[in-house]
A = this chain, B = another copy of it.
Amino acid sequence: MRRKLVFGGCIAALALLVLAGPATAQEVSDQYDRTVSSGAEAMNMVVLDNIFIFLAGVLVFLMQPGFALVEAGLTRAKNAANIMMKNLMDMCIGVLAFAAIGWGIAYPGDFNGWVSSAGLGIAGFFDGALVDISPEALASDDFYPLAVPVDFFFQAAFAATAATIVSGAVAGRTKFVGYLCYSALVTAFIYPIVVSWKWGAGWLDELGFIDFAGSGLVHMTGGFAALAGAMVLGPRIGKYGDDGKPRALPGHSIPLAMAGVLLLFIGWFGFNPGSQLQADMAVPVIAVLTAFAAASGGGAAMLTSWLTMSKPDVSMAGNGILAGLVAICSGIAEMSWLGTMITGGVAGVIVVLSVLGIERAGIDDPVGAFSVHGVCGFWGLLATGLFATTSPINGAEESAGLLYGGGAGLLADQVVGGVVIAVFVFAAAGAMFMILKAAGLLRVDPADEVAGLDISEHGSPGYGPDILAATATV
């Protein structure tokens, strides 16, 4: 009881502070005047928009080596080449499958005129490579500064991100051919369907659901597909003892894994600020809030691991940074700096408890992908429902959070969105993994698993005999 009072008092005090804070990224963007008249002024503005989003997309692609290193580092040396290969192919297949099929599903209708003129696929891809900057177009409320290619580039990087989240959760026991099928299906169908609901102007968008940079659309999609994969596959050999209790299967290189976390941190400076989709003064605000969320998540996870595991755990701190980053994606344009820090900090607590709980529940997710992306992605959606101070995007009544006089409406929308994404992705990915299992394409033979996937799936080890210790078959 007393704890609850203390907790409530804290929240109230914080809420006041938040209310006192003047501005969100969205408000900065709204106050920012982009009226241009002449052709050259418009050209300069639009080219900067497109070049900036291109560069933001490059930063998002930098998350690919980040994910690869995190996942390789947190698993065992005998599977390291397999993890890297899966990440290489996520990027290759992700780009091609999203171009051929996914993009058309994610952005149906006449998004920038592309799909309407070309149908599914990439045949008409560069029709929209120029932006109409005639005075009429500029004056239109629908003026959108990005050309189709840069839009595609940025979104393809997101699709590759959604796909790559799964590879860590299914590490150490999955057939490579099954993984390829998964990767293609997620980037061609599952992820684009979810995206279409919001960013493709679908039902979640009409509902008033807020997901600025993808806590739900990107991270929950990856996270719940990861959960489905880990559950259908079952745990790695040796992960649980005869008593059913989990045993540590330590990652082979914390330095590689944490270097990956730092690359992801940096890549997120493309992920969130780039989601502003134009070069304006809200971009640096979003960048600062991204750093705040990461720092809060990392600090909170370190402290939580210290309290629950007796020592400050390195990989938990790294996962806490990622958890804070995942959670803030949804509401970052609508939150003050304090809402951001609370969102990130709570994510850092949640991720530690979730990783420990998932492990105890008998689900073997070697890198904590579901906890980071699925659980903290969902938390991010809820946090928006609590802390969003304004939401002029839809102008709907329910568009402020519970703590800012908006009632429970936005929160309810966020819950609906989160639950539907979770259920759909879990079901679709689960069905897919079960079909692959039934077809004998999912799990490697026990002997191959013990020997390591580098040998069994790819024919050569990920580390040479000059590096691999004699104890390498743990």
Contact = CB atoms under 8 A, between A and B. Distances in A.
B460 A469 contact: no
Contact of A273 (B54, B251, B309, B457): B54
Contacts of A95: 291-292, 294-295
Contact of A467 (B149, B252, B296, B465): B252
Contacts of A280: 47
A120 to B, nearest CB: 14
A444 B47 CA distance: 53
A415 interface: no
Contacts of A21: 123-126
Interface string A264-299: 011001100100000111111101100110111011
A9 interface: no
Contacts of A124: 21-22
A307 B61 CA distance: 29
A429 interface: no
Interface in A130-149: 130-131, 147, 149
Interface in A174-205: 176
A125 B266 CA distance: 22
Contacts of A279: 47-48, 51
Copies, count: 3
A474 to B, nearest CB: 6
Contacts of A62: 266
Contacts of A287: 54, 57-58, 149-150, 153
Contact of A256 (B39, B41, B55, B255): B255
With a 10 A CB-CB cut-off, give which of A51, A54, A309 has the most chain B CB atoms: A51
A363 interface: no
A246 B34 CA distance: 64
A47 B29 CA distance: 12
A255 B84 contact: yes
A88 interface: yes
Interface string A55-80: 10111011011001100110011101
A302 B457 CA distance: 12
Interface stretch (A312-320, A403-411, A419-427, A435-443): A312-320
A314 B85 contact: yes
| Max count, chain B CB within 10 A of own CB: residue among A55, A92, A341, A462 | A92
B281 A129 contact: yes
A465 B78 CA distance: 11
Interface centre among A156, A262, A279 (most CB of B within 10 A): A262
Given A40-B45, A59-B58, A68-B262, A127 B317 contact: no
15 contacts: A23-B126, A31-B130, A41-B44, A55-B55, A65-B259, A68-B255, A76-B464, A88-B314, A92-B295, A95-B292, A126-B336, A250-B460, A250-B465, A309-B459, A311-B457
Interface of A: 17, 20-24, 28, 31-41, 43-45, 47-48, 50-55, 57-59, 61-62, 64-65, 68-69, 72-73, 76-78, 80-85, 87-89, 91-96, 99, 122-127, 129-131, 147, 149-150, 152-153, 156, 176, 248, 250-256, 258-259, 261-263, 265-266, 269-270, 273, 279-285, 287-288, 291-292, 294-296, 298-299, 302, 309-314, 317-318, 321, 336-337, 341, 454, 457-474
Given A58-B59, A89-B317, 20 more contacts: A36-B40, A38-B40, A40-B41, A41-B44, A47-B279, A54-B269, A54-B283, A58-B269, A62-B266, A65-B259, A65-B262, A84-B314, A85-B258, A95-B295, A122-B337, A147-B281, A150-B284, A252-B464, A255-B462, A313-B460
